[in-house]
Structure 1
Amino acid sequence: MPPIRTAATALATLAALPAAAQTAETPIEVRAFVASMFEIGELTGDRAGEFQYWYENHFDGAEPIAVAGAKTPVHCNEDGVCGSVLGMGKVASSASMMAILLDPRFDFSNAYFLLTGVAGTPPSRGTIGMVSWASHLIDYDLGHRWAEDEVPAGEPLFMPRSGYEDIRRYELNPALVEAAMAASADVELADSQEARDYRLRYPDEVAQGAPFIGTGTHMTGDTFFHGPGLSEEAQYMAELYEAADYVITEMEAAAIAQVIDRLHGTDRVLSLRGAVNFDQGHPDETTLEHLDPAPGETAGGFDETLVNIERVGSALLSEITGNWDAWKAGVPAAE
């Protein structure tokens, strides 16, 4: 016959358990979450990918928190800023984001989301080293496309598909974008002689200019599109969806925004991208040559752009975490 468990013995057993086993762990209040898409090697000490400067300046020494279903662990600091590498492309990045959002160890109820990484830009509207806060996110892939020789010359090669109206275009919170632009307005941007020399291959005044901080539409597509024709198509899509001019081509933001929207809405979502390449070749270069450049023909400024992304984003993070009482309830009214 098994021994009878009395209330006294049950209490004695409970008292012997570790404190963590007796009470639920208090979730981490996330004030801001930095999402990067890839890292080249280690998180510090080697050639930097998209997350390394974030890690070194915000999370160095933080205990990694492994999340089931996420590509890499989450790192958090004492200011309530957390970050992770989500993976490249729509599927990898959105899967990681959903796994992290659903982990009960994190409280995202008041969090701001900063989706960051490198990108391409049309030479008519951007340049190497520039940094852009997205006003709109557009999914490049949700629609119908056909070959150029299958329609009359000059007609569009893309048509939206019905049923995707709520997820093919996101207008990000204008007040938040305006606050981000204001917070980062005085950030000094890095540049390099290699990047300056490369820009001169393009005749566009903007392309030849120095890096700057701007805003516009970010086009999300798993297709790494290149060439003037597809660049024009991206601008056509931006106009078709009544968004701002297309300025950035990237692979993740619209998909991640959809994931966040399902659980928290998009009022606190930002996309921050830095341009490391043009979306087309210069006048003396074919699209294929631009996609597969010969040695010495690549654009410079990759590391400088990574520096710029972190500097610009950190200016806003400092504003948010340094004035959390004002930001917790939403974007403070502009002065």
Structure 2
Amino acid sequence: MRFVLTLYGALFAAVLAPAALAEPVPVRAVVVTMFEYGEPTGDRPGELQYWVERSAIAESYPFPLGEYPLFLTEEGVLLLCVGGGIPNATASIMALGLDQRFDLSRAYWLVAGIAGADPEDLSLGSAAWARAVVDGDLVYEIDGREIPDSWPYGFIPLGAEEPAQGPQDVSTGWTLDTISFALNPALADWAFQQTRDVPLPDTPALKAFRAAYDGFPNAQRPPFVTVGETLSASTYWHGELLNRWANDWVPLYAGADREFMTSNMEDSGTLTALHRLARLGLVDTDRILVLRTASNFTRPPPGKTAAWSTTAPYPDEGRPALEAAYRVGAAALKALLADWERFAEAPPRPTPVVFDTDMAIDDWAALLFLARHPGVDLRAITVAGSGEAHCAPGVANALALADLAAAGAAIPAACGDPVPLDGYFVFPEPWQDDMDKLSGVAVPPSGRAPWDGYAVALIHAAIADSDRPVTLLATGPLTNIAQWLERYPEDAAKVDRLVVMGGNLNEAGNIIVPGFTDDHPNTRAEWNLYVDPVAADRVFAGPIPVEVVGLDVTNDVRVTPAVAAELKARADNPAAAWWDRVLDANDWFIDSGEYYYWDVLAAMTVVDPARFCRGESLPLAVAAAGTDKPWLPGSDLSMPDQAADGSPRRHLDAASAGVMRPAPDSGRTPAKVCLETDAEAAFSLFIDTLTTPQPPAGHIRPPS
């Protein structure tokens, strides 16, 4: 045995001997393909050939521990073919990772290959960016002829006692670290956004094949780009029952919000090797992208058997899927290399966000968006009790909606003071009652208790627990934010951005709402700033530059019946289905023309400020003058006699309270006021985040 190990070590050293003579070649990206039919160029293409033929190859390297030579492009992209199957993938990736000829420490890894596809989700020739790779081999298996009558299939999770048809505790199972690999969700979303409108070939053969899938609307669509998970197994499995197993298996291990879309035979091996290499600091697992394109379906069409479709020829020999893997993958690499200075330093990562909300109707939508968006790491929810919802129901609803949209994330929630810092202003009582009851639309209760503490303390704790600067999003009265700044001034240095939905610079106010506040004297203010103008003014006077997503841009995102209808047509998960029912319950609000995605647009500004907030920077102040002539119809005189600072609570002038104005000579930190936005993109992003992403409406793909 000692002789064998010595011989192996000598062989490995000999293969890599040139590394000792030169500095390692810095690699920007590695394209991982799985198979090739013959030569890398000039014959029937496999997954490698298009990359080699269409790239400017600077050099090739012998790679005897792999299937083919390595090809390095002039842009620093290494092209690799690992060979089909999990063992080949594991061995080739490990060999490359240990190859001292290359510096892979900053390299991005792009797995780009064809796959089986669930016809419930994809059409042939479509492409799916994965957020997780799940292994399907590590499982108990019983022959299908011996399974109990009540079981749908013979696969049982390791550590469990029956098939995975719902949530189970699999924490006692074996080799859990190699069953599911979570990919960087922010990187996957970035790749999708870069490639969602890449033209994909649609051929007569594809059209003819997908026509047989009657009752599968996604299978009958032209090819498109989306986001969905991939299941890796050494067995080329097929059929309706095993397709059901795949749809149960992926969310069991990757999370309830993850969805099986593609099947492959290599990726769990690739990910296992990369994660082992990361232990030595040789690769960065936050830089892995997995793209799979549909060459065949994982179950037969109606009227056909699994035995027939398992070995049925791929339409056009799978070339549309091979083309899609190259086109979509190359588009992502092009965008990455074009901004290499930024991407070399760090990959996109989810932004840590604390959401301060008053849990009104548009806050519910913003919460669902934040909890589902892959670019957001929602750390905490704090409820402004001075806003539309009262504290207890507001927190209970926040916990329930967070669990609905991000099951298992256990996002904490707490409430702050139930009254503004000063003044007696409140939202209309019918609004508060409706917000407390979620417009009568039931949602499963969370079962989790509120965070044990005060909202201001939760903001502080979430910031302290983050290893990166936090973004604060406030979509209600700024009571909690003002108190947090006063109590924890040192936290300001750990906050990257403060995005506020509130105020208006050029547009008219929204205090007067027909049927509720017709006689109100204030025509200039926006509700969130009006209810607690003292808090708002203190926040604008604070050290953090505020990004104001006010009526100047939210007036562009009116919710119309057409917007609601599009959501209804695409609702494909519990969070989207619940929001669809909310829109149904509020059809009167939509028909009134008074409902806008106020807070949703603010949440989108957190994700993509360049697209959703274009404006100007200037110091701001908010009016909060006292008066001896109170506006009693909009006041709650049961509030404490003392203001938050201990002084007597004042009546504030209703006609001017909350009016936001420039303060050029104040010495205040300039705020950025959003004046332009992309409304069409906002509606698309919201629906794509709440449902399965789809290509842009009206997108036309040229024939191949």
Do both share a fold (TM > 0.5)?
A: yes
SS of residue matched to 2:263: strand
Query: Residue in 2 aligned with 1:221?
Result: 233
Query: Residue in 2 aligned with 1:191?
Result: 202
Query: Residue in 2 aligned with 1:326?
Result: 342
The aligned amino acid for 2:238 is H
Could you tell me whether the CA contact under 8 Å between 1:137 and 1:171 is conserved in 2? yes
User: Which of 79, 90, 96 in structure 2 is aligned with 1:94?
Assistant: 90
Query: Residue in 1 aligned with 2:79?
Result: 83
- TM-score w.r.t. the length of structure 2 is 0.43
Change in CA separation of 1:73 and 1:134 when aligned onto 2, cut-off 3 Å: same
Query: Residue in 2 aligned with 1:207?
Result: 219
Instruction: State the alpha-carbon separation in 2 of the partners of residues 213 and 312 from structure 1.
Output: 8
| Greater shift in the superposed pair: 62-71 or 24-33 | 62-71
Query: Residue in 1 aligned with 2:285?
Result: 266
The aligned amino acid for 2:224 is F
Query: Residue in 1 aligned with 2:52?
Result: 55
User: Which of 276, 294, 304 in structure 1 is aligned with 2:295?
Assistant: 276
Please list every run of at least 4 consecutive aligned residues from structure 1 whose deviation after the TM superposition is greater than 6 angstroms. Answer: none
The structure with higher relative contact order (CA 8 Å, sep 6+) is 1
Change in CA separation of 1:229 and 1:332 when aligned onto 2, cut-off 3 Å: closer
Gaps of 5+ in 1: 1-19
The aligned amino acid for 2:138 is L
Could you tell me whether the CA contact under 8 Å between 1:195 and 1:301 is conserved in 2? no
Per-residue displacement from partner, 1:10-60 (whole Å, max 9, x unpaired)?
Answer: xxxxxxxxxx99x83011111100010111122222221111111112254
Query: Residue in 2 aligned with 1:255?
Result: 269
Per-residue displacement from partner, 1:69-114 (whole Å, max 9, x unpaired)?
Answer: 2221111012111111110000011101111111100000001001
Instruction: State the alpha-carbon separation in 1 of the partners of residues 103 and 232 from structure 2.
Output: 27
Query: Residue in 1 aligned with 2:601?
Result: none
Query: Residue in 2 aligned with 1:38?
Result: 35
Instruction: State the alpha-carbon separation in 2 of the partners of residues 276 and 160 from structure 1.
Output: 28
Change in CA separation of 1:80 and 1:239 when aligned onto 2, cut-off 3 Å: same
Could you tell me whether the CA contact under 8 Å between 1:122 and 1:231 is conserved in 2? yes
SS of residue matched to 1:116: strand
**How far has the Cα of 1:258 moved from its partner?**
1.1
The aligned amino acid for 2:213 is Y
Please give the residue correspondences for 1:1-335 in structure 2 after superposition, counting only pairs within 5 Å.
24-60=21-57, 62-148=58-144, 149-154=146-151, 157-161=154-158, 162-203=173-214, 204-241=216-253, 242=255, 244-264=258-278, 265-293=284-312, 298-300=314-316, 302-332=318-348, 335=608
Instruction: State the alpha-carbon separation in 1 of the partners of residues 314 and 127 from structure 2.
Output: 19
SS of residue matched to 1:206: coil
**How far has the Cα of 1:327 moved from its partner?**
0.1
Instruction: State the alpha-carbon separation in 1 of the partners of residues 41 and 142 from structure 2.
Output: 45
**How far has the Cα of 1:141 moved from its partner?**
0.4
SS of residue matched to 1:240: helix
The aligned amino acid for 1:49 is G
The aligned amino acid for 2:339 is N
Per-residue displacement from partner, 1:185-219 (whole Å, max 9, x unpaired)?
Answer: 22111110111111000111111111110111100
Instruction: State the alpha-carbon separation in 2 of the partners of residues 78 and 102 from structure 1.
Output: 22
Could you tell me whether the CA contact under 8 Å between 1:117 and 1:309 is conserved in 2? yes
Q: CA RMSD in A?
A: 1.9
Instruction: State the alpha-carbon separation in 2 of the partners of residues 275 and 193 from structure 1.
Output: 16
SS of residue matched to 2:113: strand
Larger radius of gyration: 2
Could you tell me whether the CA contact under 8 Å between 1:89 and 1:252 is conserved in 2? yes
Could you tell me whether the CA contact under 8 Å between 1:132 and 1:216 is conserved in 2? yes
SS of residue matched to 2:137: coil
**How far has the Cα of 1:68 moved from its partner?**
3.9
SS of residue matched to 2:246: helix
Instruction: State the alpha-carbon separation in 1 of the partners of residues 336 and 315 from structure 2.
Output: 34
Change in CA separation of 1:301 and 1:209 when aligned onto 2, cut-off 3 Å: farther
**How far has the Cα of 1:298 moved from its partner?**
4.6
Change in CA separation of 1:124 and 1:240 when aligned onto 2, cut-off 3 Å: same
SS of residue matched to 1:113: strand
Could you tell me whether the CA contact under 8 Å between 2:194 and 2:331 is conserved in 1? yes
**How far has the Cα of 1:292 moved from its partner?**
3.0
Instruction: State the alpha-carbon separation in 1 of the partners of residues 290 and 176 from structure 2.
Output: 20
Gaps of 5+ in 2: 1-16, 159-172, 279-283, 350-606, 609-704
SS of residue matched to 2:130: strand
Identity %: 33
- TM-score w.r.t. the length of structure 1 is 0.88
**How far has the Cα of 1:273 moved from its partner?**
0.9
Per-residue displacement from partner, 1:243-272 (whole Å, max 9, x unpaired)?
Answer: 511100001111101101112242111111
How many residue pairs get matched? 311
Could you tell me whether the CA contact under 8 Å between 1:138 and 1:254 is conserved in 2? yes
